[in-house]
Structure 1
Amino acid sequence: MKERSMKLGLRPNLTQFILLAINNAFVGSMVGIERTVVPVLGKQSFHLNSLSVLLAFIVSFGIVKGPLNLVAGRLADQWGRKPILILGWVCGLPVPLMAIFAPSWGWIIAANLLLGANQGFAWSMTVTSKIDLVGPARRGLALGINEFSGYIGVAFISGVAGYLASIYGPRPIPFVVAEVIAVVGLLMAWIVIRETLPYTRLEMSTGNQVGIQTRLGLGQVIAMVSFKNRTLLACSQAGLVNKLSDTAVWGLVPVMMAQSQYSVGQIGLVSGMYAATWGVLQLLSGTWSDKVGRKTPIVLGQILNGIGIGFILLTYSLVMWVIAALLMGIGTALVYPVLLSAVGDEAHPAWRGSALGVYRMWRDGGYAIGGILIGFGVDWLGNERTIGALAMIVFVSGVFVLFGMQEPLRKTR
């Protein structure tokens, strides 16, 4: 691909952008089935009573996904985006089959190791590729669309999986659907999605790029994103804390609802409402952040998310569960694509993929940390105290962003 034949922007790259969005919807769908079915599978098929043991499948997911985000970002800067996207789908192919034939909970944990690799590689590349294509002026919109497509996939499949599981049981039908999705996603990545790495060179050639330094080693990028740069540090901690709350929705909420005798279909409805609200509103939050800046949506989102988590303590009916899910979905929608946009703003195109990888490593490490803290917290302290502590942590994270984050520097054209 010749650089002079390429243009940055959404309109000139609309076809590839749409294909990446569809592919990311399939990536999200792989997780959507897990969110609804696996916690119920642990209770009904494997008779797990300890929440810390049950949440081990989320811990395994986070342990792999977090570091592989970093690996994916670095390899994508060196090898290109498409090979890593394909690798992600290859890792996803065995996951539904392992869940179908799992004779023990250990197989489910192992399957989630591969699911973490699938998400770490594939979702990272849809994010990075869209940033490559659109350039700096519409970055918030691009990330909003990307996360919208992924979490609409999560929401839709969460509902479908809950419905199928309520009729046919948690295995095998929901996971057969997941296997079909994995095959289609791999074929798309292999055949119709193009490499976008040349667009980073085009952006650098325009002179409109921003960032602290043009060339950084991996260790320097890790230090920059983790603690040296105030904006990137604020983004990293906010992303990690956001995943703590998401872990509660993924692992704790289905268990609490099941303990209150809600059906799998009702659990799927609540999970789907959370993901749908999160997914749809990201279209607005990403675009809004292009106009007002990144800081305001992030702070507002963390505070709303903390309120939504606290609202769980007031749930006594299905309607109340839905309200809690909506509050958390709105809060996360304000945070999720805007954090990615902020990192994209602050990082130079030459090491943007690596910076996004480091940020996503910290963010998705929240799954592992959340699975451990929430699991043992509930086992030792009970549901209410654990939920209250988590709500406070999310609220404090928003305050940290308010006072610790500088508005990322951006140039538009």
Structure 2
Amino acid sequence: MPPNPNTVLLIAVLASFSTPFMLSSINVALPVMAPALGLDAMTMGWVSLSFLLSSAALLVPMGRAADVFGRKRVLTLGFALFTAASLFCGLAAAGWQLLAARVLQGMGSAMIFGTSTAILTAVFPPERRGKALGWVSASVYTGLSLGPPLGGFLAQSVSWRAIFLANVPLGLGVLWLIRARLAGAEWKGGENETFDLPGAALYAAALAALMYGLSAITAPPGILSAAAGAAALLLFLRRETRIANPILNAGLFLRNRVFAFSNLAAFLNYGASFAPGFLLSLYLQYKEGMSPRQAGLLLAFQPVFMVIFSPWAGRLSDRKDPGVIASAGMALTAAGIACFTVTGAGLPLWRIAAGLCVLGFGLALFAAPNTNAVMGSVEKRHYSVAAASLGTMRLTGQMFSMAVVMLLFSVFIGRVQLGPGAAEGLVSSMNAAIAVFTVLAAAGVLASLKRRR
């Protein structure tokens, strides 16, 4: 008997909730975590970047592994690793221990992201797929919504460690659901194909070196790392065009216009929209003197709008052209980000709230329709790799977003602990970053429209 699609949807919803909840919670809790673990401004950025780096480097290889060895198997292993790593994060006694556990969390997330969406796409028919993906997007944004206020409450009233430990019972619950409700079921896309382990290792090393280099591009080691990563990525792409069972099918990008430009739009969207929340959290606490709880409540405007409008946007993409809907979302994203520029008169709270609402509505219009466009443009045997590719664009976009911020921090602030004395450097960094992110979002509108021509 095939599994109930609604059970798969529930698992995908829970899987999609945990990581965004943790990421948005940590942004608010960083000022509390920093003195406890001795983190400076640059290391604070690595709390998020270490997770994103390991996750992005392994997403495509894990998506391919899921197609070859079984999507449920990889999903189960991913949740087990993610849950254990969350426990290790909550028990960390030093900065390096937290960063090491975050790397393990990222590895587990890489095994979860592509497989849950691929399984969902496999069990729902095309006419109901957009609606299901809309609920998944809503769960992502529910995690983002609850993250700032609940993370601020936990950091201020309990401990920042509780943010990580909250993932443990959630992960155990999902593992029980998989074991109890998906027993005997499995989904594969490459039954008689092999897994290219050397190619997977080359891809992971190339992407990790490239993104690390971008985050430290002002120093000679960063330049060398970025150059080595770019060269290794070119070697990987050359290898993939010459083997029978590649990790990443280059033809999906070269011959599938919708797939290629939808992925590019996703990279630009997340590259533009991820770091503003990180910057606003620091601005509100260090410049405006807000508590973590107060800052979290204000930042919740954005994901609340996402939660409200994502299911509707997903249903709309089942009836209308997803590319048009996603393009409108990108335009609103650019407008929302531009609201966060600090002028001579400062950045009034009403403008922050308005910008967060516009940004939230724009992201809701973009996410589910863009995912629907990607998954609907490939054959069933490529579902896991397609979902992993889209996830990689999301994570590399988020990594690039944080790399821009860390580059600007190194220019305007340097390796000092943030505080009232560094407020001027924080504002300068923030204004430069907002300008970059607004341009990225505007470019995303063009990429999103390009897939339709």
> What TM-score do the two structures reach when normalised by structure 2?
0.76
- Over 3 Å counting, the alpha-carbon distance change for 1:325 and 1:217 in structure 2 is farther
Counterparts of 1:323-362 in structure 2, within 5 Å, are 323-362=354-393
Q: CA deviation at 1:13?
A: 2.9
**Counterpart amino acid of 1:43?**
A
Q: CA deviation at 1:182?
A: 2.6
Counterparts of 1:63-102 in structure 2, within 5 Å, are 63-102=53-92
Instruction: Tell me how large the CA RMSD over aligned residues is.
Output: 2.7
SS at 2:312's partner residue? helix
Counterparts of 1:20-35 in structure 2, within 5 Å, are 20-26=12-18, 28-35=20-27
- Over 3 Å counting, the alpha-carbon distance change for 1:217 and 1:142 in structure 2 is farther
Task: Tell me whether 1:55 sits opposite 2:45 in the alignment.
Answer: yes
Residue 282 of structure 2 corresponds to: 255
User: Is the 1:29–1:181 contact (alpha carbons within 8 Å) kept by the matching residues of 2?
Assistant: no
Once the two structures are overlaid, the 10-residue window that deviates more, 242-251 or 21-30, is 21-30
Q: CA deviation at 1:42?
A: 4.4
Counterparts of 1:117-128 in structure 2, within 5 Å, are 117-128=107-118
Task: Tell me whether 1:400 sits opposite 2:447 in the alignment.
Answer: yes
**Rounded Cα–Cα distance in structure 2 between residues aligned with 1:27 and 1:48:** 22
- Over 3 Å counting, the alpha-carbon distance change for 1:222 and 1:198 in structure 2 is closer
**Rounded Cα–Cα distance in structure 1 between residues aligned with 2:253 and 2:329:** 21
**Rounded Cα–Cα distance in structure 2 between residues aligned with 1:320 and 1:76:** 44
Residue 140 of structure 1 corresponds to: 130
Residue in structure 2 matching 1:305, options 326, 333, 341: 333
**Counterpart amino acid of 2:31?**
V
**Counterpart amino acid of 2:5?**
N
Q: CA deviation at 1:109?
A: 2.1
Q: CA deviation at 1:23?
A: 4.5
Give structure 2 stretches of 5+ with no counterpart: 192-242, 413-428
User: Is the 1:53–1:375 contact (alpha carbons within 8 Å) kept by the matching residues of 2?
Assistant: no
Report the number of matched residues.
381
> What TM-score do the two structures reach when normalised by structure 1?
0.83
**Rounded Cα–Cα distance in structure 1 between residues aligned with 2:51 and 2:401:** 11
SS at 2:303's partner residue? helix
Residue 267 of structure 1 corresponds to: 295
Once the two structures are overlaid, the 10-residue window that deviates more, 253-262 or 222-231, is 222-231
**Rounded Cα–Cα distance in structure 2 between residues aligned with 1:181 and 1:157:** 15
Counterparts of 1:133-172 in structure 2, within 5 Å, are 133-170=123-160, 172=161
Q: CA deviation at 1:220?
A: 8.1
Residue 164 of structure 2 corresponds to: 175
SS at 1:313's partner residue? coil
**Rounded Cα–Cα distance in structure 2 between residues aligned with 1:256 and 1:100:** 26
User: Is the 2:137–2:368 contact (alpha carbons within 8 Å) kept by the matching residues of 1?
Assistant: yes
Residue 233 of structure 1 corresponds to: 260
Q: CA deviation at 1:283?
A: 0.4
- Over 3 Å counting, the alpha-carbon distance change for 1:177 and 1:17 in structure 2 is closer
**Rounded Cα–Cα distance in structure 1 between residues aligned with 2:35 and 2:303:** 24
**Counterpart amino acid of 1:152?**
T
| CA deviation map 1:1-45 (0-9, x unaligned) | 5xxxx59xxxx73344334434443454444433432x2244342
User: Is the 1:65–1:365 contact (alpha carbons within 8 Å) kept by the matching residues of 2?
Assistant: no
**Counterpart amino acid of 2:180?**
I
SS at 2:9's partner residue? helix
Q: CA deviation at 1:371?
A: 1.6
**Rounded Cα–Cα distance in structure 2 between residues aligned with 1:115 and 1:272:** 24
Residue 280 of structure 1 corresponds to: 308
- Over 3 Å counting, the alpha-carbon distance change for 1:109 and 1:298 in structure 2 is same
- Over 3 Å counting, the alpha-carbon distance change for 1:350 and 1:41 in structure 2 is same
Identity of aligned residues (%): 18
